[in-house]
Structure 1
Amino acid sequence: MTRPSDRSVLRRPIRRALPLALAIAMGLAGAAAVQADHHEGAVALKAAEQIAYRQSVMSIIGTHMGAIGDLMKHGLAVPGAIETHAKLMAESAALIAPAFRPRVTEGATDAKPEIWTDWTKFQTEIAEYEEAANALASAAASGDPAKIGPAMKALGGSCGGCHKPFRKPKEESYKNK
């Protein structure tokens, strides 16, 4: 009885595995090519989603601001409401920079490129907004209307301090196109 050499025993599994390894490698290369083809579409989708998220963050802030305005304008007596809305606005400040950090300037957005070219100023404006929202919350907690009105005006000014340099004017808005 002849015994196969140790070399031929080792070669047989390699010969069988080689076609399988080549097939796997070709499959992976094909998957990478398909992924590369879809990458551009995925980037566009992510950009649209990023814009939608940051618009949601800003919409939440605007909703709280509008609610405070309604409470004050109509003299609505809802104990603690102004303070709560102001606190939520201040807490929302922590969401602004992360929402805008990815530079997405193309698409349905009114964000100006200056946000990213002058990021330090943008962050300063966010900090001023947060400070003004906290000041309004403190004024509302005091229950003194003489403090609430000026604090609300200061908060509105801090919003404008960011909108003027960093948001397209209404006539240039994507909503008007």
Structure 2
Amino acid sequence: MLRSLRTGFIAATLLFGAAAVLAKPADFVGTREAGYKSLGAAFKTVNDRLRSGDVRGPEFMGAVARIQTVSREQYKWFPAGSGRSSGLKTAARPEIWGNAPQFRAAQDAFARQADAFAKAAATSDAGLIRGEARKLGATCKGCHDNFREEDN
């Protein structure tokens, strides 16, 4: 049984690895554009709810969860070869790959702040949530300023 589990694990690893290798740059560009658009929609929901003072309920918490999910998914969206060098229209600057440690640090900062924001959201304290939302927005701005072309 252990042997068949090991064989299954190896087969699954190879399959998922092959899928990543066989994916086209356009697939990654499309995935990250869709992911960041959903992040923008989640931020809009959060900001609308903060303005109204209603920081409870499934719509608000769904937006918080989406932000956390994107903060984890984003790591898979920028493989080598998925930038402008692929010939595709993308807002991703070459610095993402040319300065990968700095980009990873920016991604990590966003993920950490998404977690802090989710903890604040769980309290229903609008003041605390607002403060963490501002910090979260600043982590987004850090990536936009350094790694995203506004006009692509």
TM-score range, shorter chain: 0.7 to 0.9
Aligned counterpart, 2:134: 153
Shift of 1:50: 2.2
- CA displacement 1:125-162 (0-9 Å, x = unmatched): 11111111111111111111121111110000010111
RMSD: 2.1
Greater relative contact order (CA < 8 Å, ≥ 6 in sequence): 2
SS in 1 for 2:24: helix
- Partner Cα separation in structure 2 for residue 59 and residue 158 of structure 1: 16
Instruction: Number of aligned residue pairs: give it.
Output: 128
Identity among equivalent pairs (%): 23
* Aligned with residue 73 of structure 1, among 39, 51, 56: 51
Query: Which amino acid is 2:130 matched to?
Result: G
- Find the partner of 1:120 among 79, 101, 125: 101
Answering whether residue 32 of structure 2 is matched by residue 54 of structure 1, we say yes
- Partners of 2:101 and 2:137 lie apart in 1 by 21
CA distance in 2 between partners of 1:62 and 1:119 (Å): 24
Q: CA deviation at 1:86?
A: 2.1
| Structure 1 residue 117: Cα displacement | 0.7
Q: Deviation per CA, 1:46-73, whole angstroms, max 9, x where unpaired?
A: 2323211111121121121111111112
Stretches (4+) displaced over 3 A: 74-78, 80-84
Q: Which amino acid is 1:66 matched to?
A: K
User: When the two structures are superposed, what TM-score results if normalisation uses the length of structure 2?
Assistant: 0.74
Quick check: which has more Rg, 1 or 2? 1
Segments of 5+ residues of structure 2 without an aligned counterpart are 1-21
| Structure 2 residue corresponding to 1:90, chosen from 61, 68, 86 | 68
| 1:75 Cα deviation from its structure 2 partner | 3.2
Counterpart CA distance in 1 for 2:103 and 2:72 is 13
